[in-house]
Amino acid sequence: MSDFESRLSESRAFPPPESFARAARISSDGEYQRLHRLSLADPETYWAPIARELPWSKPFTEVLDWSGAPVARWFGDGELNASVACLDQHLDGPRRDKVAIHWQGEPGDRRSLTYAELSAEVNRLANALRARGVKRGDRVALYMPLVPELAAALLACARIGAAHSVVFGGFSAASLRERILDGGCTAVITADGGWRKGQVLPLKAVVDEALVGLHDVHTVLVLRRAGNEVAWSAPRDVWYHELVPSQSDACEPESMGAEDLLFLLYTSGSTGKPKGIVHTTGGYLVGAFHSMRTIFDLKEDDVYWCTADIGWITGHTYVVYGPLANGATVVLYEGAPNAPDEGRFWRIVEDYKVTIFYTAPTAIRTFMRWGDTWPKKSDLASLRLLGTVGEPINPEAWMWYREHIGQNRCPIVDTWWQTETGSAMIAPLPGVHATVPGSAMRPFFGVDAAIVDERGSEVGPNQGGFLVLRKPWPSMLRGIWGDMQRFQAGYWSRYPGMYFAGDGARRDEHGNYWILGRVDDVLNVSGHRLSTMEVESALVSHAAVVEAAVVARPDDVTGEAIVAFVTLGPGHEAGDTLTAALKAHVTREIGALARPAEIRFTQSLPKTRSGKIMRRLLRDVAAGRESTGDTSTLEDLSVLARLRKDEE
């Protein structure tokens, strides 16, 4: 089988504005290159002073022990507590009364918590958990809406040394049950419900279903959020508002070893049992802390909004731990971006004077479909930096984001990373790099990235291959919970001594990295392995198209044939003429091999509530198969039915 072929080209580049670069934490390529070389050649010298900026209860003397590869030990003899790093260290100075979290609920309710107020809430919740018998070393499942109490719950667990396992509030009862069982959770924190598109999601009912017969869970702490009726099982169930406010707002933190478990976070592929990714305290915190302030060029007066739910790794690292460890002001929004209308996000940016905005490419393409009239209705002048995360972004969506949200003045940091990596691995430094639409740009400090072929040999410029990481980094996963054999086989066996990310990529002649998507999504047409991202980008570069998803279906002649699902912008009509034009456009952009065999027009694509396109469902539709597997995280369950109806 041949290696990846990369055929998309992009010549546009946007250097940072001079005023931005002058004020940036890192402002020259020479400085970036020097620090990157140091971080690879001498990680101890690079990482030790950064780590020492955090409040260690027992200072570390060793930085990295890689003798147990592929399990690393970072700062292994040191001790600290993540909640102290995120809260206590800020309480003796001016940050004490600085807003930590601005929160807005979907119905319009608002709250703002200072660092002192958030600290008090975390301590009361930590004491409540201790009062219910939760202790150091336990695991606690969190299944909640995006409310300040969810952020507090993470930090309360960390304060008493209990690991949290956040399960996104859209997962089904079966998925929640599986994660509770696998993690051995003994307590659950949830809410009666949460708001989404004007409807109440019945979270407590899902928890009740998930816990049938699970007698090891002794506590379900229930936040009253939506006011919906819930079933009750005493003494297991307890109301948050009846237990937590009466607790002391002082709570002595556990002194945790740097390699003690901080959290489990489950990733789920299209097949197989979800993997409980293990992240420990010290290295993860250092990675989150350093990447947050450096990649986002974080300043003391920034108002930062990452739109991810805390249930995903992006929410862990760049909503809670990274920003709060840096003393930042964070915006949280509970609901959908089109509730009550498509201008909700931009009104929030205006209302809170957001300066840094971080969202997913699929969200950006949705904004494109809604049109530029919505952002024009709000004042976005406060924005100074934009970011993307979650999957590769096609150049035309990048350009729309730059023009209509960033008003052609905000640098864009396109970040590549994973649940497993813990923090961003490849991203531009916004005061240094001339960003290129669609490129994740350069490896972050401590990241030794390479692109290799099937045999593990590094490939040349503009050759597609497999993305690997060749050296350990602080925030890396420490294993899969209860299954170290799967950890070894899944990440370290394909290329011995190298972490295999599961993504295809290329590096251009300037050294910029381009992520081509998951290798599972590769198209194999007549022996040529093509990236779905590049074909999708070619389609979206046509003026009529705002979003596209490309999958393969079996073909007797070519092995696989390309099927494109396309969403059109306002004023464009589907039909044979446009179908022919789009096929010709893809041929001109990246070659005849990438020409879709079939184009299907659809008003929407099947996406999770985090905005990721569920391509496995599209593969089923393209091949005429019934879909199997969990579809509970679909944002709109009717999308799949409409796609199948269109097929008939």
- Pairing outcome for strands 465-469 and 499-507: antiparallel
Q: Would you state the pLDDT for residue 534?
A: 80
Collapsed DSSP state (helix, strand, coil) of residue 2: coil
Q: How far is CA 374 from CA 53, 370, 380, 397, 419, in A?
A: 42, 8, 11, 16, 32
| pLDDT at 593 (0 to 100) | 76
Query: Do you know the residue count of the chain?
Result: 648
Tokens at 291, concatenated = 């990447």
The pLDDT value recorded for residue 1 is: 34
- Residue pair 278/479 in contact by the 8 Å Cβ criterion: yes
Find, among 190, 198, 174, the residue nearest to 230 by Cα: 190
Look at residues 55, 520, 463 and name the one whose alpha carbon lies nearest to residue 282. 55
Supply φ then ψ for residue 51, to 5 degrees: -60, -35
Per-residue pLDDT band at 553 (split at 50, 70, 90): confident
Residue 246: DSSP 8-state:
T
> Could you tell me if 550 and 535 are in contact, meaning their C-beta atoms sit under 8 angstroms apart?
yes
Q: Is-contact 459 452, C-beta < 8 A?
A: yes
From the list 317, 315, 386, 312, the residue with the least C-alpha distance to 345 is: 386
Span 250-286, pLDDT tens digits: 999 999 999 999 999 998 654 467 899 999 999 999 9
The answer on pLDDT for 171 being more than 90 is no
Lowest-confidence pick of 97-111, 454-468, 519-533, 625-639: 625-639
CATH of span 523-647: 3.30.300.30
- Residue 425 backbone zone (phi > 0: left; psi -120 to 50: alpha; other: beta): alpha
Instruction: Tell me how far apart the alpha carbons of residues 186 and 172 are, in angstroms, rounded to a whole number.
Output: 19
**pLDDT for 630:** 60
Is the model's pLDDT at 558 over the cut of 50? yes
CB 127 within 8 A of CB 247: yes
Q: How far apart are CA 193 and CA 405, in angstroms?
A: 32
- Report, as an integer, the average pLDDT of 295-302: 98
**Average pLDDT in the chain:** 92
Give the HSE-up count for residue 62: Cα atoms under 13 Å, Cβ half-sphere: 12
Give the tokens for residue 514: 């381009």
Is the pLDDT score of 491 beyond 60? yes
Cα–Cα nearest to 416, from 386, 388, 436, 445: 388
Lowest mean pLDDT among 78-87, 382-391, 397-406, 526-535: 526-535
pLDDT at residue 247 greater than cutoff 50: yes
Q: How far apart are CA 467 and CA 459, in angstroms?
A: 11
Stretch 496-505: mean pLDDT: 93
pLDDT at 68 > cutoff 70: yes
* pLDDT value at 637 more than 90: no
pLDDT bin (cut points 50, 70, 90) of residue 152 is very high
User: Phi then psi for 598, rounded to 5 degrees?
Assistant: -150, 140
Coil, strand, or helix at residue 278? strand
Question: Side-chain half-sphere of 154: how many Cα atoms within 13 Å?
Answer: 30
- Report residue 4's pLDDT band, with 50, 70 and 90 as the boundaries: low
Q: pLDDT exceeding 90 applies to what percent of the chain? A: 77
Check residues 173 and 518 and name the one with the higher pLDDT: 173
Measured over the CA atoms of residue 556, residue 560, residue 565 and residue 566, the dihedral's sign is negative
**Confidence grade of residue 640 (pLDDT, cut at 50, 70, 90):** low
Q: What is the pairing mode between strands 219-223 and 199-201?
A: unpaired
Per-residue burial over 455-473, b = 16 or more CB atoms within 10 Å of its CB, e = otherwise: ebeebeeeebbbbbbebbb
- Name the DSSP class of 88: G
- Check pLDDT > 90 for residue 482: yes
* Structure tokens that stand for 587 in this block: 């041929």
3 vs 543, residue with greater confidence: 543
Give 619's pLDDT tier (boundaries 50, 70, 90): confident
**What is the DSSP secondary-structure string of 279-321?**
EEHHHHHHHHHHHHHHHTT--TT-EEEE-S-TTSHHHIIIIII
β-bridge pairing 99-104 and 110-114: antiparallel
For residue 636, pLDDT beyond 70: no
